[in-house]
């Protein structure tokens, strides 16, 4: 079910007026969801070996997690300022609250597939395709959004409570775009300012997928970029946000 429809259904059960529901839904943002199985196009791969340009090192102490093919993303599936082609490569420390990096490889750049470096944690993650579909996201608080929807028309704590219980799709392994409030606690998750920063995305990995070091029940790794760095394609300046289950 579309997350907006799920929100409408939950709000109606709580007798929220239709005009108030649609007022809040103005904050809905498209999100690219990466699934392990669905009917969407293949937009990337989890695992395998990273293909890096000459002179670009595999980030020290980090596990290679995924590649996103920017040219394969379905139109309208996010609202952030990404390049139209090239690849994003995602790396993370094998930890329950890791530091992480993202590397942008422009289209046409010569690359070489790198071999795994031996150490006590790393393993080559199983490689499998990631399928992309458009989803939607809503904030807990409208301060999380740069969208101005005017004066309050309803008790906004009700909307926050509804958002908390929305289920989404449990098969979603990663998301691109959206809001930074999907974590359930611990660490820093919000933007310093929604007018100045952008959530690049989240990736969810557990010990089974990423190997020893990641939380057995799941680690959430996210990347946030200053808008000027995003526009300048300086993905190496992304800061990490993270959380874990358990």
Candidates 163, 172, 239; CA nearest to 37 is 172
> Exposed, middle or buried, 172 (CB in 10 Å: 0-12/13-18/19+)?
middle
Distance of CA 53 to the CA centre of its chain: 24
From the list 141, 153, 150, the residue with the least C-alpha distance to 19 is 153
pLDDT in tens, 220-242: 999 999 999 999 999 999 999 98
- Report the alpha-carbon distance of residue 138 to residue 27 in Å, rounded: 6
**Tens of pLDDT, residues 51-76:** 999 999 999 899 999 999 999 999 99
pLDDT band at 183 (very low <50, low <70, confident <90, very high): low
- The more confident residue out of 176 and 244 is 176
CATH architecture of structural domain 3-244: Roll (2.30)
pLDDT band (50, 70, 90) for residue 212: confident
Task: Specify the pLDDT at position 39.
Answer: 82
Residue 186 has a pLDDT of 47
pLDDT: which is higher, 168 or 39: 39
pLDDT at res. 169: 62
E strands in 189-235: 197-205, 219-226
What's the chain's length in residues?
246
Name the residue among 27, 46, 29 with its Cα closest to residue 154: 27
Residue that wins the pLDDT comparison between 88 and 217: 88
Q: Token match 């293909």: residue? A: 51
Q: How far apart are CA 62 and CA 90, in angstroms?
A: 10
């Amino acid at each position: 079910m579309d997350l907006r429809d799920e929100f409408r259904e939950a709000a109606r059960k709580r007798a929220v007026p239709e005009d108030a529901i649609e007022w809040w839904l103005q904050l809905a943002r498209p999100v690219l969801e990466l699934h392990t199985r669905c009917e969407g196009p293949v937009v990337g791969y989890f695992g395998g070996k990273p293909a890096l340009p000459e002179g670009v090192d595999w980030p020290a102490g980090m596990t290679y997690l995924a590649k996103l093919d920017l040219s394969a993303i379905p139109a309208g599936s996010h609202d952030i300022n990404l390049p139209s082609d090239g690849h994003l490569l995602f790396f993370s420390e094998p930890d329950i609250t890791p530091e992480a990096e993202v590397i942008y490889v422009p289209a046409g750049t010569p690359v070489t597939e790198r071999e795994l470096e031996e150490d006590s944690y790393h393993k080559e993650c199983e490689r499998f395709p990631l399928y992309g579909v458009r989803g939607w996201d809503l904030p807990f608080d409208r301060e999380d959004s740069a969208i101005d929807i005017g004066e309050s028309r309803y008790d906004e704590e009700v909307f926050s409570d509804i958002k908390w219980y929305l289920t989404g799709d449990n098969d979603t392994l990663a998301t691109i775009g959206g809001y930074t409030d999907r974590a359930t606690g611990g660490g820093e998750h919000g933007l310093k300012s929604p007018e100045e920063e952008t959530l690049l995305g989240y990736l969810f990995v557990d010990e089974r997928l990423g190997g020893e070091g990641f939380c057995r029940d799941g680690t959430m790794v996210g990347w946030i970029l200053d808008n000027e760095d995003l526009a300048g394609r300086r993905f190496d300046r992304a800061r990490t946000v993270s959380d874990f289950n358990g």
